[in-house]
Amino acid sequence: MSHLATAEAMIAAYNAQDADLYVSYMTDDACEAGYRGAVVREGKEGTRTGLAAAFAKWPENHAEIREKQEIGNYVLFREYVTRGPASDGSELVEPFEVIAVYSFEGGKCSRVEFIR
């Protein structure tokens, strides 16, 4: 599977709110982070539990890929994310755009960085 196809499969799993499937495409020590910044979800397990919590809070959460490009061991997506109402009654998050940079080692994603 190409890196682009893997990243697209990760978004499909994200939109299905399937944290287990999402992290199945990642290396064991993968993480999600701000661009060139702090890690927000550490390791495969930290990513899985972090996503599961987000999916529980925003059951209508969805990411739409607006642009995509594969460059070597990287995939870049411009994503449009809508959260929908939060299950805990917290304030509505306005839809937002984000650039996501997926880094690959072998056939697995090793890091996702978000530019927002």
Percent of the chain at pLDDT > 90 equals 97
Q: Between β-strands 108-115 and 26-34, what pairing exists: parallel, antiparallel or unpaired?
A: parallel
* CATH for the 3-115 domain, from 1.20.1250.20, 1.10.3720.10, 3.40.50.1820, 3.10.450.50: 3.10.450.50
- Residues 72-91 have pLDDT tens digits of 999 999 999 999 999 999 99
The three state secondary structure string of 19-44 is: HHHHHHCEEEEEEEEECCCCEEEEHH
Amino acid 26: pLDDT: 98
Kindly indicate the confidence band of residue 37, based on its pLDDT and cuts at 50, 70 and 90: confident
Q: Which amino acid is at 80?
A: Y
CA distance 45 to 25: 12
What is the torsion angle, in degrees rounded to the nearest 10, for the CA atoms of residue 85, residue 35, residue 1 and residue 71? 130
Mean pLDDT value across residues 61-80: 98
- Residues 1-12 have pLDDT tens digits of 999 999 999 999
CA distance 114 to 89: 26
The domain segmentation of the chain, as residue ranges, is 3-115
Both tokens assigned to 24? 């199945």
